[in-house]
Structure 1
């Protein structure tokens, strides 16, 4: 049984262990993921011949839509959000590929640009929905 009280948290003694150290690592890993995804997108768009182009571009194609969808689904539990984000990421990539193949306009650069545009649109719609000072929407029946 856990007791809930008004005690002040223990002061930091300069040495972080356990959960605090993990929380400090999350922004670092997020920044590294953004950097790897950005490099992958740029390598694909510039068409630079590099052995890192394939893995970094694949990481971008999975992470960009997944992050945008995950940001839109804050109400879900972390595991549920992760499952839906990864599934949505694959769905966005497959729909972009299917649409480009059906229109006979398939190219690597075009695919990366289309996934970037869709991911940006999803993220911008999510941010616009959460703007402060916006009047509350009332649903009436």
Structure 2
């Protein structure tokens, strides 16, 4: 069952990357609304869930979904407030913020792994 989840994860990641590329390159395709929406809903939530790695899976998914919606709504509100509406800029901002959260996750894991290695018996 692990290989099925891994294949689903890779397919979802490929669809999200395709959505970002379609939005940034302004490619017109019938799948554009679906792929861009998938990117905007999945990527921030996945980044937040990655930060909550030692939590209950259902709670982490709930927080990730809520964080994804909050991030997108706040970004849209800020773009409207400053009269700077741009779908390309929105997708780029979501990608940068999710990348920043991924870097935090990697740094946090590295720190916890170093502390686990140093905590062994001497």
Runs of 4+ in 1 over 4 A off after TM superposition: none
- Larger relative contact order (C-alpha < 8 A, sep ≥ 6)? 2
Cα offset for 1:104? 1.2
Q: Partners in 2 of 1:23 and 1:115 — Cα distance? A: 29
State the number of aligned residues.
Answer: 114
Cα offset for 1:102? 1.2
What's 1:73 paired with? 52
Task: Show structure 1 runs of 5+ residues with no match.
Answer: 1-21, 136-141
What's 2:38 paired with? 59
Q: Partners in 2 of 1:24 and 1:117 — Cα distance? A: 29
State yes or no: 1:39 paired with 2:18: yes
Q: Partners in 2 of 1:123 and 1:101 — Cα distance? A: 27
1:88-133: CA deviation from partner (whole Å, max 9, x where unpaired):
1001111111111111111110000011111111111111122143
- The structure having more radius of gyration, on CA atoms, is 1
Question: How much is the aligned-residue C-alpha RMSD, in angstroms?
Answer: 1.4
Q: Partners in 2 of 1:123 and 1:35 — Cα distance? A: 17
Output the TM-score relative to the length of structure 2.
Answer: 0.88
What's 1:28 paired with? 7
1:1-35: CA deviation from partner (whole Å, max 9, x where unpaired):
xxxxxxxxxxxxxxxxxxxxx21201100000000
1:35-76: CA deviation from partner (whole Å, max 9, x where unpaired):
000001101111111000110000000110011000001122
Please give the residue correspondences for 1:43-122 in structure 2 after superposition, counting only pairs within 5 Å: 43-122=22-101
Per residue, is there more helix in 1 or in 2? 2
